[in-house]
Amino acid sequence: MYSHILVPLDGSDLAEKALPQAEVLAKSFSTALHLVQVFSVPRELVNVLEVGVGIPPSVDPNLNLAHLIVEAGRSKIEAYLEDLATQVRDNGIGLTELRVILNRNPVVLAW
């Protein structure tokens, strides 16, 4: 019935509580899980990155710093997803994909 099960994660304990249920579904339907987390790039960094399109990061220190910050965020999320993937694999569940989605257009909510 299910060929793919997407598990969106945000690093919270609440989101991780969905993993055991996703594992049960994956076992029941003999399918694999896809672990995903969105990394929203702060608007200030997006502005720096957009202005610096086509400029090598070594030329502009702000651009270089923006790239470093984005890559550090991506690396942290990749490590987090890989840790969860290890737990899932240890439980005998297959994983077909770990993905970090970069959101360069975050929405600011005002209440």
Residue closest to 5 by CA, chosen among 31, 37, 38, 36: 31
Task: Say yes or no to pLDDT of 73 above 70.
Answer: yes
Domain of residue 92, CATH code: 3.40.50.620
For residues 100 and 37, what is the distance between their CA atoms, to the nearest angstrom? Answer: 5
Half-sphere CA count of 24, side-chain side, radius 13 A:
4
| Contacts (Cβ under 8 Å, ≥6 apart) of 82 | 98
Q: Does a structural domain hold residue 110?
A: no
pLDDT band (50, 70, 90) for residue 57: low
Q: How many domains does the chain have?
A: 1
Average pLDDT over residues 31-38: 90
Q: What domain range includes position 62? A: 4-103
The whole-number pLDDT of residue 22 equals 94
